Structure 1
Amino acid sequence: MAIYDTLFSQLDVTSSQLLVTDRDFRDPSFGHQLRETVVSLLDLKVIPVFNENDAISTRRAPYEDSSGIFWDNDSLATLLAKELDADLLIMLSDVEGLYSGPPSDPQSKIIHTYINEKHGKLINFGEKSRVGRGGMQAKVAAAVTAASKGVPAVIASGFVTDSIIKIMRGEKIGTLFHNEANVWDCSKEVTTREMAVAAKDCSRHLQNLSSEERKKILLDIAGALDANVDLIISENEADLAAAQDSGYEKSLVARMTLKAGKVGYLYISSSQQYPFIYLIMFGHSICSHYIFVDNKPC
């Protein structure tokens, strides 16, 4: 704990150690007390540092999950993430994330999004490090458990500069575990370069279209909006409910609110050589009134 105090103090940040045991979590009232303690510390700008209370722990080697609660820091982190209703669990390791095989193997590739149905039985974890109890296999098990309980998890390297900040920015770093990751699965891995090249090719293709072809595309989009008003409104209502549950400000929720008139209206001025298409769409601040789309060739 002394090293945490030293490092945090260099940033004028206070830290506090909280020691727990698996027996604590057997008490139904412990979760409420735990949340109150953590909230109070954070209100005081104090960083809580959790660890198992080894002084009174009854565990003996070989270490195993005999309690079914937690048995190492990885499973403890998952348990705390659930108890504290965390938005995200980040587990730092000595490698950049989860690999398809031992990280030392040149053939191994990093897995940026873990899908249990796809990767669960295909990964060769190799040997664990000399420190810790469970190694990467334990981290994966903990991350899968966290994701199944609604807490996304990321395994990344603690040796990469600003890795936590990069994760919070949404950068593609480490391995993400999410309970809906299977929905995002693609049959083919596409690199950033391939996506950029494909986008550029499509841009050139659009530029080569005639004005009539562009007009037809815009009309098809408008028709699809008009035909799916009920579905769009329904999905928007679900998004609004999720935003309210997440504690978004009322003003932000109001900006996301869609009404039928904002989705389906289409007007074409046929008297123009290059007709203007006016679409009333999403109620965000950047398009709170009209979107003017001119299909005149550039």
Structure 2
Amino acid sequence: MSTLYRNPYSSCNGSSNQTNGIINSKTPISNRSDMKHARRIIVKLGTALITRENEDGLAIGRLASTVEQVSQLQNEGRQMLLVTSGAVAFGRQVLRKEAMMTMTMRKSLSPKDILQNSRVAIQRQACAAFGQKGLMSFYERMFQQYNIGVAQVLVTKSDFYNLDSRKNLQATLDELLNLNIIPILNTNDAVAPCIDTDAEVTAAKDDIVINDNDSLAARLAVLISADLLLIMSDVNGLYTGPPTVEGSRLLHTFCPKQDLELISFGARSKFGTGGMESKVKCASWALDHNVAVVISNGQIDKAILNMIDGKKIGTFFTNAPTETLPVDVQALKVRDGSRLLQRLTAEQRKTIINKMASNLIEYSQDILEANKQDVEEAMKEGTYE
């Protein structure tokens, strides 16, 4: 029988307790090592992660792995919630085949129509309605293998903007989570307006506009006071530039208030409606509302479990500015410095080395203290071995 949990996020007395070592009180996660304490976790799955690269059906292996990881966390006593994309893409793939099969033999085999017929345009809303059924059926069968029940919740913007609807949504999700059921949410694209550009996801005065599942996941995380939001896609995290561009480097930690000027965004995914710029805006907004966020690649083996364990996977969002340069940046500067040294004379290099040696002796105590602080920080981030 499933264990019933009382909702610690709506407790009247504000007291905190602990279940299986998992902290029930709402305390902001400030570093990777704290993620193991997260109890209420939202996992957002992007379309590129859910569908195959050739756009021909669901990526069964990746989804099965994700379901297994989410189930393990759920059975540990955590409260898991999924925000899933992919209904439109999955529905389009199936309905295109259906449309092709209904064509006459002459039309489907006509050489001049072959290319056009292979790209039959199906209304987005119809794709969503058809695809959501198959997507939800898959999730239900997979989670049954772990004796976990799931519930489908389709939402639109009005469910958040209308006070009564928002309260009803929050109450429904709280009750499902407390009953040890995993809510699986998606935007109700069968009736929602067709808006699919990153530019539509802009910051409002207090809230964010819901135009894709990245913004939906962020709003849900804040609504239900989630501890952690994991945005899973097909990229390893946030890069300083498009990942395919030479010189772009992965940021393991990102402070929106400090590092935003260091990055440039590329084109959004061909599968979904969002892009990295959308993810960063939504993650930053959730972070400002005390929800920890990590953007990561869902194709990495056991990525979700390893992130919860504090492993250095993906990009961890933090409001704490970093005081030191990342290791890879330091390495680049060392390389450039070594090239400058090579152009110096032997006497000039000797002078520099002697000066460095004397500084090491003079400031040895300061260096040891700084090294101790680095080790402590690495242990907090889960990167110390």
Fold shared by both chains (TM-score > 0.5): yes
Q: Structure 1's 61 and 91: CA in aligned 2 closer, same or farther, altered over 3 A?
A: closer
What corresponds to 1:27 in structure 2?
162
Give the match for residue 277 of structure 2. 137
Q: What letter corresponds to residue 164 of structure 1 in structure 2? A: I
Bigger CA radius of gyration: 1
Q: 1:99 aligns with which of 208, 220, 239?
A: 239
Tell me the CA shift for residue 136 of structure 1: 1.0
Q: Which position in structure 2 is the counterpart of 1:269?
A: none
Counterpart in the other structure of 2:108: none
Query: Any conservation in 2 of the 1:114–1:181 contact (CA below 8 Å)?
Result: no
1:61 shift after superposition: 6.0
User: Is the aligned partner of 1:148 residue 2:285?
Assistant: no
**Which residue is equivalent to 2:215?**
75
Matched with 1:112 is 252
TM-score by length of 2: 0.46
Displaced runs of 4 or more, over 6 A: none
Once structures 1 and 2 are overlaid, which stretch shifts more, 3-12 or 87-96? 3-12
Q: Give the whole-Å Cα distance in 2 for the aligned partners of 1:129 and 1:62.
A: 11
Matched, 1:188 2:325: yes
2:187 pairs with 1:58 = no
Amino acid of the structure 2 residue aligned with 1:17: Q
**Shift in CA distance, 99/170, structure 1 to aligned 2, threshold 3 Å:** same
**Percent identity of the aligned residues?**
38
Q: Which runs of no fewer than 5 residues in structure 1 stay unpaired?
A: 195-298
SS of residue paired to 2:239: coil
Q: Deviations over 1:159-218 (max 9, x none)?
A: 11221111111221111112x222xx0322248xx9xxxxxxxxxxxxxxxxxxxxxxxx
**Structure 2 CA distance, aligned partners of 1:89 and 1:139?**
11
Q: Could you tell me how far apart the structure 1 residues matched to 2:262 and 2:306 are?
A: 28
Residue in 2 aligned with 1:44? Answer: 179
User: Equivalents in 2 of 1:89, 1:61: separation in Å?
Assistant: 22
Residue aligning to 2:32 = none
Aligned to 2:266: 126
In structure 2, the CA distance between the partners of 1:10 and 1:105, relative to structure 1 (3 Å rule), is: farther
The aligned residue for residue 290 of structure 1 is: none
- Which residue of the partner structure matches residue 13 of structure 1? 148
Structure-to-structure mapping, 1:120-269, within 5 angstroms: 120-178=260-318, 180-182=319-321, 185-190=322-327
Residue identity matched to 2:162: D
Matched residue of 1:121: which SS? Answer: helix
Q: Which amino acid aligns with 1:14?
A: G
- Letter paired with 2:184: V
Q: Which residue of 2 aligns with 1:4?
A: 139
* TM-score computed with the length of structure 1 as normaliser: 0.58
Deviations 1:200-237 (A, max 9, x none): xxxxxxxxxxxxxxxxxxxxxxxxxxxxxxxxxxxxxx
- Aligned residue-pair number: 189
The amino acid of 2:165's aligned partner reads: F
Q: CA deviation at 1:65?
A: 4.3
Q: Which has the higher helix share?
A: 2
Match 2:229 to one of 89, 110, 113: 89
Compared with structure 1, are the counterparts of its residues 38 and 149 closer, same or farther at alpha carbon in structure 2 (3 Å cutoff)? same
- Relative to structure 1, is the Cα distance of residues 57 and 85 closer, same or farther in structure 2, using a 3 angstrom cutoff? same
Distance in 1 of aligned mates of 2:140 and 2:174: 20
**Matched letter for residue 113 of structure 1:** T
Residues 98-141 of structure 1 show CA distances to partners (whole Å, capped at 9, x for unaligned) of: 11112123422110111224321221222222111121111111
Distance verdict in 2 for CA 1:60–1:174, change over 3 Å: closer
Specify the code of the residue in structure 1 equivalent to 2:320.
A
Higher RCO, 1 vs 2 (CA within 8 Å, ≥6 residues apart)? 2
Tell me the CA shift for residue 62 of structure 1.
Answer: 5.8
Question: Matched residues in 2 for 1:177 and 1:50: separation?
Answer: 23
2:212–2:273 CA contact under 8 A, matched in 1 = yes
Query: Contact 1:25–1:69 at 8 Å: present in 2 too?
Result: no
How far residue 26 of structure 1 moved from its aligned partner, in angstroms, is 1.7
**TM superposition shift of 1:95:** 1.1
Counterpart AA for 2:292: P
Q: Give 5+ residue unaligned stretches, structure 2.
A: 1-135, 332-385
